[in-house]
Amino acid sequence: MKILVTGGAGYIGSFVCRMLQDEDHDVVIVDNLVYGHAEAVSAPVEVGDLLDAPFLRSVLDRHRPDAVMHLAAWIEVGESVSNPAKYFVNNTGGTAALLQAMAQHGVKNLVFSSTAAVYGSPRALPLTEQSETHPENPYGLSKLLTELSLPAYETAYGMRIIALRYFNAAGAALDGSMGEAHEPATHLLTNALRAALGRQRFTLFGTNYDTPDGTCIRDFIHVLDIAQAHVLALDHLGRGGSGGTFNVGTGKGFSVREVLEAIRRISGREFAVIEGARRPGDPAMLVADSTLLSHTLDWTPKHSDLETIVRSSWEWEALHPEGYARP
């Protein structure tokens, strides 16, 4: 199939595109390259914004995709608290614009990148797809608002849509060739690894959460396993399968302190940790129940043990201190 991947030059998007190409799909990317890297992908990149209606119409007219994978979004939780309008306009509004254009061009299948941030602070763990949603930050709310709109598009336009609520994306290519190159870095692992390499200081945000060691607990899922979930979701829709919402996680959480200790052990480096205040909108614990995804799409995480996540990320950061080389 020909697949249009929005945000395909970003961290997760680049892995999704590589895996789609490995499965012999024809990939076209739409990315504004604010945070994405054209150097990370081998597929054609249409540089532009989803809110630019003529641009989006032109892309769909010229490429006529069979399906869309939508990963383009702003993702910084803290920034979403201080500048919520940016997130609602881009994440919610941009997705609405994409869905409108898809409907006008008769594109029926969509895999939508959602987030565990839709849940907020859970009342019970692990989180299932039926768990209550009450996001604690505008980033999570911007994704939930889109999720709530999707059934209307399915009903009105005959679309079939899978929303993947993934938990904490982490890790890099096992050969160190691809990884996260988001500037400024937002993910825990990237910031801690850069501290281990002596390139920056590391701040631990919050040490008084109601957890065993006082730091946040997260369900870390390797980016390769997230990409595999996207490909399986696409195959499911391609075979005529119905849409739905699925968690993408391991069912096991690690605290920030546990991750830091794993980084010290694997890197052999010591580094200072500055203890800071909690960030607004950060729940204490998020752990997934991905049984529905496993049963429906025959998905099993293969690379999401903490050792593989940290070791692959360490190799990427050590080998690529400047991220993707630019011309």
| Same domain, residue pair 147 and 193 | no
In the chain, the amino acid numbered 21 is Q
Over the stretch 66-113, which tens digit does the pLDDT of each residue have? 999 999 999 998 899 999 999 999 999 999 999 999 999 999 999 999
Over the stretch 238-258, which tens digit does the pLDDT of each residue have? 999 999 999 999 999 999 999
| Same domain, residue pair 206 and 311 | yes
- DSSP annotation string for 43-112: S-EEE--TT-HHHHHHHHHHH--SEEEE------HHHHHH-HHHHIIIIIIHHHHHHHHHHHHT--EEEE
Return the ∠ at Cα 74 (arms to 66 and 135), rounded to 5°: 100
Over the stretch 220-242, which tens digit does the pLDDT of each residue have? 999 999 999 999 999 999 999 99
Q: What is the pLDDT of residue 327?
A: 36
Q: What is the pLDDT of residue 322?
A: 86
| Same domain, residue pair 58 and 91 | yes
- Give the 3-state secondary structure of residue 136: coil
Domain that holds residue 13: 2-170+221-248
In a domain, 310, yes or no: yes
In a domain, 324, yes or no: no
Q: Which of the listed residues 201, 232, 248 is the one where a domain comes to its end?
A: 248
Query: What is the spatial distance between Cα 150 and Cα 152, in angstroms, rounded to a whole number?
Result: 5
- Give the 3-state secondary structure of residue 117: helix
In a domain, 243, yes or no: yes
CATH of the domain at 159: 3.40.50.720
| Same domain, residue pair 164 and 194 | no
In a domain, 179, yes or no: no
Over the stretch 119-162, which tens digit does the pLDDT of each residue have? 998 989 999 999 999 999 999 999 999 999 999 999 999 999 99
Query: What is the spatial distance between Cα 96 and Cα 25, in angstroms, rounded to a whole number?
Result: 25
pLDDT, mean over the chain: 95
Q: How many domains does the chain have?
A: 2
Q: What is the pLDDT of residue 283?
A: 84
Query: pTM of the full predicted structure?
Result: 0.96
pLDDT above 70 for 326 = no
Q: What is the pLDDT of residue 218?
A: 96
- Cis amide linkage into residue 184, ω under 30° from 0: yes
Question: Which residues are the active-site residues?
Answer: 139
In a domain, 182, yes or no: no
| Same domain, residue pair 104 and 228 | yes
